[in-house]
Structure 1
Amino acid sequence: MPDDSRPDEGPNPEDEFRDMLRDILSGKSSIDPSQLAGAAGLPADPASINALMQQLQGALRGNGDGGISWDAALTQGQNKAAEGQVAVTPAEHAALDEAFHIAALWLDEVTDIAELTVVPRLLTRKEWVTESMPVWTQLAEPVANSISDSLTKVLTDQAPEELKGMMAGASKMMRSIGGTLFAMQLGQVVGQLASEVVSGGDVG
């Protein structure tokens, strides 16, 4: 009778890499999460570290498809912008609308600039992050992809021989993790900008 049994192919390198990352993110590794947060340019407070771990675990559960989850940037930016945010009252909205109207009348008399096609809006910091994030992600995506590709190449090239197979089999997963870290960095920066700008023209 022929032997239909197949030789043991050994552990899957991608599964090994996923297990290693899972140990890091679950606290079973010697890597300090606060050091990981610091290396990513994020605050080292417990709330930020917890958010970082949750986002990375989410990227890991996504099976490492290599894509970048910009939801992480939006969430990070909104949380950062909400710190010390002041609510806008209806009276303040009305006063601003009146000021815009008066300014538009004056400018129309003394300049040849066309009228605004969009009515100016008074935004909270968190709303500014939400409204502007699509532009930031569009600008940042080529950079994020380049950084993720470079990180994957460096890790693969410099890994010890016994880990090279593992790294090669998990490149998409590494790109996903790297993309998540970059997205959270972007959110941190945009959230900080929200506390410094006073209009859309300040961004330049």
Structure 2
Amino acid sequence: MPDHPQSPDSPQDGSGDEPTGSGLPAELEEVLKGLTGGTIDPEMAKALKDMGIDRVDPAMLQMMVGQMQAMFASPDTDPFNVSLATDTARKTVSAAGDATVGDAAARQVAQAAQVAELWLDEVTAFDAPGITTHAWSRAEWVEGTMATWSTLVEPVAEGVGRAVGDAMRTQLQQLGEGGLPEGLLPEGILPAGMDPAAFLGQVEPMMAKMSGSMFGLQVGQALGALATETVSGTEVGLPLVADRSVVLLPANVEAFAEGLGVDLDQVRLYLAVREAARVRLFSEVPWIGPQLLAAVRDYARDISIDTDRIESALTSVDASDPTALQSALQDQLFRPDPSASQRAALARLETYLALVEGWVDVVSERATRAHLPQAASLGEAVRRRRATGGPAEKVFAGLVGLELRPRRLRDAANLWAALEDRHGQDGRDAAWGHPDVAPTAADLDDPLGYVERFGTSTDTDMDAALDQLLAEGEKGPDQ
């Protein structure tokens, strides 16, 4: 006779769904053993059985176990599970439709990039870092940019982990005082005579790791959505691609071209010019990329996590659902009131983004107007895409509570155009030479004033120094 009676629906073939010594399905028991050091408290097992975990449909149980294994598989202590984020993003783009880029599409991207570089040579003082290209699928974009995204959102993940831990400790302190917050566990689930704090103490490490996995899932979902929309490696305005190659996503370029009434070849060339211009800028102006990334991280590092909202969410978690914490906290975390340091970081970020995209707008217009009949229409389509809130804006609003939008783009474009008109394209690009001489937010308020001042301060200082030397020479050494 078997040790554990089986229901008519129980498997008879010795699969992992059979009850074990703990009375739990074997797959679930293995997961729990991995989380508790190899042993399962009998009272915890009883509580899970009382929830009906052993009566869950086998297919549903396998899905739950798989989700739990993915959540807790990472052996490291990173603020969030990067592997899970990558896997989630890849699954998101797969669900939306993603295909390997064929040789023909790759050749089209390479040819467009080569032409774009030739056109840019005529209108900018910056050299190309090398005509290297990638024609990426959506999944390849996820893989190619995840390392940079990880560094950007890590400060937020750390804050989320601290906030969830603080909320759990608060709940445990309340339990230690003898009170069980209403709704924290389903009625009748806690075994008779068991200390609530002891029960929750066993799952506190799991909850901490689940918070990291929850954030990893959220990052993956956001970047997966972004990957289905972004047309190039750096469209968001940040240096996401490590090897400074011109990257286009053929499937997304085609989607962007739909409804524009413009030949696809022209669309591809125009977007290749914009992407190649950004790559040149990030390559030839070594300080601007790090400044952009630092501004995002500075904003994220000081983000405020609402622990009261997290505590409220924790009281509604369904303990039988391994994704319940993610669902409960989905809309509870990223609504901060910016601090003074965040406002300063945001001002820097918006200024730098506007300067980058304004420069790209001006240079791209100069490079394409004599070659692409529909260049003006394509420029307008890009501006409309930004004005309605591009994909990057939605991603950052969800991940770090800010909108990644160059609000002062028109002011920046006017400044670069005026600078070029006065000092030529070499003078325009020389303004990127050092952060101390680059335009500021105040200069965007008065672009013509900046143009008048640019290039004069250094000459004036040198003239003054020369006048002083000449004056001292006329006086003689004894005077």
Q: Same fold (TM over 0.5)?
A: yes
Partner AA of 1:81 in structure 2? V
Q: CA deviation at 1:59?
A: 4.2
Residues 23/78 of structure 1: CA separation in 2 closer, same or farther (3 Å cut): farther
Q: Secondary structure at the match of 1:121?
A: strand
1:156–1:168: 8 Å Cα contact kept in structure 2?
no
Deviations 1:38-79 (A, max 9, x none): xxxxxxxx99x93x75242344567x8754432111110011
Larger Rg: 2
User: Structure 1 residues 76 and 58 mapped into 2: Cα distance closer, same or farther (>3 Å)?
Assistant: closer
1:76 is aligned with what amino acid? Answer: T
Q: Tell me which residue corresponds to 2:110.
A: 97
| Aligned position for 2:147 | 134
Q: Find the aligned partners of 2:65 and 2:236 in 1 and give their Cα distance.
A: 30
Equivalent residue number for residue 76 of structure 1 = 88
Q: Alpha-carbon deviations, 1:12-55, whole Å to 9, x = none? A: xx655x947x949x9719xxxxxxxxxxxxxxxx99x93x7524
Give, in angstroms, the shift of residue 112 of structure 1: 1.2
- The answer to whether 1:186 aligns with 2:219 is yes
Gaps of 5+ in 2: 1-35, 177-194, 238-479
1:94-115 CA-partner distances (Å, limit 9, x unpaired)? 1221111111111112221221
Find the aligned partners of 1:75 and 1:27 in 2 and give their Cα distance. Answer: 30
- TM normalised by structure 1 equals 0.68
Query: What's the CA shift for 1:170?
Result: 4.9
1:27-176 to 2 correspondences below 5 Å: 28=53, 50=63, 53-60=65-72, 66-67=77-78, 68-82=80-94, 83-117=96-130, 119-159=132-172, 160-161=175-176, 162-168=195-201, 170-176=203-209
Give the whole-Å Cα distance in 1 for the aligned partners of 2:234 and 2:214.
Answer: 28
> Structure 1: which 5+ residue stretches go unaligned?
1-13, 30-45
**1:166 offset after TM fit, Å?**
4.3
Q: What corresponds to 1:203 in structure 2? A: 236
- Look up the match of 2:263: none
Tell me the TM-score normalised to structure 2 length: 0.32
**CA 1:79–1:65: 2 relative to 1, 3 Å:** closer
Q: Distance in 1 between matches of 2:213 and 2:153?
A: 13
Q: What is the aligned residue count?
A: 172
> Identity, % of aligned pairs?
27
**2:181 corresponding residue in structure 1:** none
Say which is worse superposed, 168-177 or 117-126, in terms of deviation: 168-177
Distance 1:23 1:184, change over 3 A: farther
The one of the two structures with greater contact order (alpha-carbon pairs below 8 A, sep at least 6) is 1
Q: Is the 8 A contact 1:72 1:180 kept in 2?
A: yes
Q: Residue 110 of structure 1: SS of its match in structure 2?
A: coil
